[in-house]
């Protein structure tokens, strides 16, 4: 087994819960256990990390490292009004979900 495959397997074994929110790749990318020696080399997906996934795990997007933070969408469409919709910024969605003042002003 290659080193890359061994790291991927260990991260999956440690982080993935098939009954929880998100795919294995998303759960591994959202890992915030920075004391783990594999954290800097863990596999990080190209898929986005939805705010709902971060909320489910109680993760503030600012806790994510730069690689994973880049996977959090800058904005999401929220079907608040199906007639016109509403565009939410990452800051306003974070504020809505957590009750905090937003990412920049936290």
Q: What would the pLDDT profile of 2-57 be if each residue is shown by its tens digit?
A: 999 999 999 999 999 999 999 999 999 999 999 999 999 999 988 889 888 999 99
pLDDT at 46: 85
Residue 58 CA to residue 54 CA, distance in Å, equals 6
Q: Where are the alpha helices (DSSP H) in the chain?
A: 3-15, 24-29, 51-57, 66-69, 90-98
Q: Could you say which DSSP state residue 81 is in?
A: S
Residue 38, both tokens: 């594999």
pLDDT at 89 over 70: no
β-strand partners of 39: none
**Mean pLDDT, residues 87-92 taken together:** 51
pTM for the predicted model, two decimal places: 0.66
């Amino acid at each position: 087994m290659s080193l890359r495959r061994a790291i991927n397997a260990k991260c999956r074994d440690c982080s993935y819960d098939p009954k929880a929110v998100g795919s294995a790749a998303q759960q591994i990318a959202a890992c915030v256990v920075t004391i783990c020696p594999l954290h800097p080399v863990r596999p990080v997906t190209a898929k986005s990390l939805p705010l709902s996934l971060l909320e489910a795990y109680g993760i503030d997007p600012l806790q994510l490292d730069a690689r994973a933070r880049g996977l959090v969408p800058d904005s999401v469409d929220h079907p608040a009004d199906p007639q016109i919709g509403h565009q939410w910024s990452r800051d306003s969605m974070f504020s809505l979900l957590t009750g905090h003042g937003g990412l920049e002003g936290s």
